[in-house]
Amino acid sequence: MAKRHFIGILFIFVMIITLCTMVMAKDPYKSVWNTAQMSVDGTDFDWQDAFPAFEKKVAVDYAFKNDANFLYILFKFKDPKQFMSTISWTGMTVYLDPNGKKKKDYLINFRKKQITADEFIANLEAQQGQLSQEDKDKIRANEFYVDHDVQVSNKKAKSQSLDGVEGIVPAIFRANQSQDETYLWEIAIPLARPADMAPGIGAAPGQQIKVGFHWGGATDEWKEAMTSRMGSQGSQASNRARGGLSSESGGASTRLDSNIGLARMRKQMPKKYDIWVDVLLANQQ
């Protein structure tokens, strides 16, 4: 009898948890069908017909639009000072799953980088073919350029090559400071994904997908910069030790400075941020 009573209580408890989960679950964001030509320029001029959602924990607004070919994303940082340093290192990583699952197998990283004129020329020639010497000289008039770099990663890709694949359309983005001092990211991602490593979602209008946004954390570049700084501080500590301390006390001082450097490095490590959104793609019909 006691066993039946326990099973009954357990059943009721499970039902309560299930009902609470259903109530707390958010409705998917309903993307707006785009009817006009979108200009991906890092502004919100083309977004007056969208309905932004507010993510309170990180003070950002986001909105989605789509047509038959692209998913458009507007991501607005309302407190840019809190995130500028972290996102400048890592860029914005967007996870995409056409089956609506919270997975990190497929991602596209969008990142603004400063590159040299020669690197800029190499990028242009990879996209457009050989440039004339006159065009190269004009480009080299400036030492540096801003590159809007887009990189695809897919853990489950059968092949990392796109050789021979047709119908590949690039994903693009722009990120700018707005007049009201917010920081805007505008992104366009193809709905189609013709290959494992191609930029795209692999979804169609009317389908529900899962989109994840990630930025922050320690990149390899950040670690190298911090390691270089620690190495410089370590050299200074060694010089101080040789200047007036015994070898034993000097070694202890150097180790202490090294430990302090590691503690500072951990403390200064950029914070990671993650947002996941269920998105119901609009259907023109």
Do the beta carbons of residue 114 and residue 146 sit within 8 Å? yes
Query: Domain limits of the chain?
Result: 27-110+151-217+275-280, 222-266
pLDDT at 15: 47
pLDDT at 268: 63
Check if CATH label 2.60.40 holds for domain 27-110+151-217+275-280: yes
Distance CA 225, CA 254 (A): 20
Tokens for 72, please give them.
Answer: 């458009």
Per-residue pLDDT of the chain (285 residues; tens, 9 = 90+): 555 554 555 444 444 444 443 334 579 999 999 998 999 999 999 999 999 999 888 889 999 999 999 999 999 998 877 676 678 788 999 999 999 999 999 999 999 989 999 999 999 998 888 999 999 999 999 999 999 999 999 999 999 999 889 989 999 999 988 777 788 999 999 999 999 999 999 999 999 999 999 998 766 665 666 676 666 655 555 555 555 555 455 555 555 455 545 555 556 666 888 999 999 999 986
